[in-house]
Structure 1
Amino acid sequence: MNEIEINNILSKGANLLDITPSMFDEATSHYKAVGEFLGNHGIDADISPCGSILTGTVVRPYSENEDAYFDIDVLMNRPGFDSANNTPGEVRDPVDETLLKSDRYGNMAKEYDECITVEYVANGIEGGFRLDLNTCIDDKTCKTRQEYADSSVSMAWKNPERWHGSNPRGLCQWFIDKNERFAAVERAQRKARILKENRSLYASIEDVPDSLDRSEMQRAVQVLKRSRDEFYHRCGKSEKAPASCVVTVIIGKVSDHLPNNTKAIEFLESFIQCARSLAAARSLPNPVYDEDLLQEWDDESFALLTLWAEEIDRSLGNLRCGARAKGGAAAEAIFGSKIGKRAMPVTAAAVVPSVVTPLKPWSM
């Protein structure tokens, strides 16, 4: 296959895993409703999305069940509190208790150490989604990259009760800023396709939100996130999989050296090179916060990252070789059996083997 055909397969697979415009609108209305509900119960909290729904890199979480729920990260920033004078419990407990004890959210909410979740059942067509509600306060102590420092927060965590510094919205904005020059390429054409497929939601191209448009850079992140989930699951090492922020930062960093018209496949090739170098560098600074994103990694984590990069490289090579069977197996290695088959052209899918032979990093 040529580069255009391969890129079409990657883009189609990512699109099949993406959140739909109707689900995006539904998720937006639901997290806004949570904010209104808390406000009506005397709890002041500024609700805003972060993570993949903000960066435009959402993928359906890996699961044997094709109806796995989308995870939507939301910040609930509580004004008027600070870590010097308030405990995490003082900030978070009223939020959790109000949701857990309410008739409206009680049966949908579940409390975790890092956040409280509200789960919306699948609608039978597109699947369901889960809001991860992270209670936080402003944190003005971060000095990394002043243009993003103002969005730093302290998360209210439990068991043990503690403040956890972070800057998720700053990282999202950093990625969005990096992505803009790639997103500008053929944006109107992509939005026209979204409009054509969603006439019931939008009346014109201007009505299609930028948050639903996907650049080649964003598609690359989506492909990598699913490839990661597939690879580490087959290895039985899902707990060692790199966090999505690691994938996002790597792609953001390699983008500095790529032209505006770079395709998803070229982002993957740059990711492979960077992943190999990280095995030696063993450090990946957070561009918007004072931390090393790989600080907790051990030798096995770096070895697995290298093996994952090698599998991506091998899969791209198999797609290039022209043999339909090899190409089909490569698509399944990246996306999984169901999505891999659907991503391939019809003539190729007919000869795709049903079993993907995984690498065996546990024997290293």
Structure 2
Amino acid sequence: MTISINNFSQLLEEVAKELDISPSKYKLAVSRYESVATWLNDGEYENFDGKINIYPQGSFRLGTVVRPIREQTEKDYDIDLVCEFEEHASATQAGIVKHRVGNRLKEHTTYKEMLDEEGRRCWTLLYSEQDGAGFHLDVLPSSGFSTVNYSPISITHKENEKYSWASSNPKGYAAWFEERNVNAYRLVALDQKRMISNSFSDVYAKVDDVPDQLIRTPLQRAIQLMKRHRDMRFNGNNKHAPISMIMTTLAAHLYDNETNVYDALTNIVNKLSAHTRLLENKAMLDERLSARGLIKRLADGTWYIGNPTNPNENFADRWHEEGNARAKAFFQWIEWLKQDFLAVTQRDRDSIRFTLEACLGKSAVGKVWSKCVPSPAVQEPTKVNISRPAKPWRSGE
């Protein structure tokens, strides 16, 4: 016996909730990064007395956060924070800006103990919680004026002990994503805020207290499931795994306001599947046939997936390396998505559960399976109606 599409979609929705950050954990994370922001804002910095803008970016801001898993072990949530000094990058140096933030964090007794080694772009604070679900708070130093029409900023980058600037536009990207998501958001926001307020009344006493960042549309749920699926399928081979920025960008481009997560995944995955011919045939893109031309293979064999808010930024700039290893990994992943989320609905219940546990996590699926998948009806013994029963055999007849 298989399960209905409606039940399967509900199952995917509930699994995504299990992978998501809880409203109470979200509020704790906000209070943590607001404290860090206050500490950085109150600092005194040599040769800088301007304004500092500190704000979240990435999955935490987009509502696509999912708890990472590596080697079958749940890891801490990643929270990304931008620390933007209002100054032109040309007026300072990347290394100076990077260490402004690092040195200021080291001035705080608690943060100094939590601070990880310097990363290529960020400083990372390691929080731990009693329930085992902690945070990695990545603070990204930058220079710019993003408050002006969501303009790009310059972020610090360290490679081989040398510092340089890279371009980014986290506010512009968030605005673009919200525009792609706005119609679906309007349909679900009020009901979800009511449910969150009812279930977490000790955290958000009123509906109006529930932040927009906790609302999840089918697009956001689809991206969360895709991220976890990527983490499970590429377990042990993360080097070539599709990056979150690529899957988020492509999914947002292709989302067509589907009203449930299964339909959203079906639309996104089927359109992306058309790109496999670009790898197999090594042909130029036919924009009429494949996903609106979002993935391009250029004449020189390189690949292009543009940042929608900065076309000069190519998310696939390394896809041609190592014999197109990252491109091959991406297209293989799309085929796995088809097998695990689309074709799986034709299988029996036990096979569906086994597949989802393998690609989304046994714990997450196990917690919601009985809630979403009805148990097979217990078949009663067949009743036989005998209209003219034979007479009992009697000896002597």
Alignment TM-score, normalising by the size of structure 2:
0.79
Residues 276-310 of structure 1: per-residue CA shift (max 9 Å, x gap):
34442342111011222111113222222222111
Question: 1:293 aligned to 303, 306, 315, which one?
Answer: 315
> Distance in 2 between the 1:70 and 1:325 partners?
31
Does the CA-based 8 Å contact 1:57-1:222 persist in structure 2? yes
2:85 corresponds in structure 1 to 78
> Distance in 1 between the 2:148 and 2:16 partners?
29
Higher deviation after alignment, 49-58 or 339-348: 339-348
Matched, 1:46 2:43: no
Cα RMSD (Å) of the superposition?
2.4
Q: Trace 1:320-339 onto structure 2 (pairs within 5 A).
A: 320-339=345-364
> Distance in 2 between the 1:24 and 1:347 partners?
25
Higher deviation after alignment, 19-28 or 62-71: 62-71
> Distance in 2 between the 1:58 and 1:18 partners?
6
Residue type matched to 2:76 in 1? Answer: Y
Higher deviation after alignment, 69-78 or 291-300: 291-300
Residue type matched to 1:90 in 2? Answer: I
TM-aligned CA deviation for residue 109 of structure 1? 0.8
2:19 corresponds in structure 1 to 17
Matched, 1:103 2:109: yes
Does the CA-based 8 Å contact 1:341-1:349 persist in structure 2? no
Does the CA-based 8 Å contact 1:38-1:95 persist in structure 2? yes
Question: 2:329 aligned to 301, 304, 308, which one?
Answer: 304
Residue type matched to 1:117 in 2? Answer: T
Instruction: Give SS of 1:272's match.
Output: helix
Matched, 1:184 2:206: no
Residue type matched to 1:119 in 2? Answer: L
TM-aligned CA deviation for residue 131 of structure 1? 0.6
Residue type matched to 1:265 in 2? Answer: Y
Question: 1:160 aligned to 156, 159, 162, which one?
Answer: 162
> Distance in 2 between the 1:185 and 1:268 partners?
18
TM-aligned CA deviation for residue 271 of structure 1? 2.4
Identity %: 26
2:129 corresponds in structure 1 to 122
Q: Trace 1:1-364 onto structure 2 (pairs within 5 A).
A: 1-43=3-45, 45-64=52-71, 67-79=74-86, 81-110=87-116, 111-124=118-131, 127-138=133-144, 150-158=150-158, 159-233=161-235, 236-255=236-255, 258=256, 260-279=257-276, 280=278, 281-282=296-297, 283-289=304-310, 290-298=312-320, 299-345=324-370
TM-aligned CA deviation for residue 65 of structure 1? 6.4
TM-aligned CA deviation for residue 349 of structure 1? 10
> Distance in 2 between the 1:308 and 1:261 partners?
22
Does the CA-based 8 Å contact 1:49-1:73 persist in structure 2? yes
The alignment of Structure 1 onto Structure 2 pairs a total of residues equal to 338
Q: CA 1:131–1:186 in structure 2 vs 1: closer, same or farther (change >3 Å)?
A: same
Higher deviation after alignment, 111-120 or 332-341: 332-341
Structure 2 unaligned runs (5+)? 46-50, 279-295, 298-303, 377-397
Instruction: Give SS of 2:81's match.
Output: strand
Alignment TM-score, normalising by the size of structure 1:
0.86
Does the CA-based 8 Å contact 2:8-2:372 persist in structure 1? no
> Distance in 2 between the 1:60 and 1:31 partners?
18
